[in-house]
Amino acid sequence: MFDLTNRVALVTGGSRGIGRAIAARLAGQGAKIVVNYATNEAAARQVVEEIVAAGGAALALQGDVSQAAQAQALADQTVAAYGRLDILVNNAGITRDGLLMRMSEDDWDAVLNTNLKGAFHCMKAVSRQMMRQRYGRIISISSVSGIAGNAGQANYSAAKAGLHGLSKAVARELASRNVTVNVVAPGFVETDLTAKLSDELKAAAVGHTLLGRWGMPADIAAAVVYLASDEAAFVTGQILAVDGGLAL
- The residues carrying an active-site annotation are 156
C-alpha 247/C-alpha 200 separation (Å) is 20
C-alpha 187/C-alpha 241 separation (Å) is 7
- What DSSP character marks residue 189? B
- Produce one character per residue of 198-230: b if its CB has 16 or more CB atoms within 10 Å, e if not: eeeeeeebeeebeeeebbebebbbbbbbbbbbe
Residue 244: strand, helix, or coil: coil
Q: Give CA 156 to chain center in angstroms.
A: 14
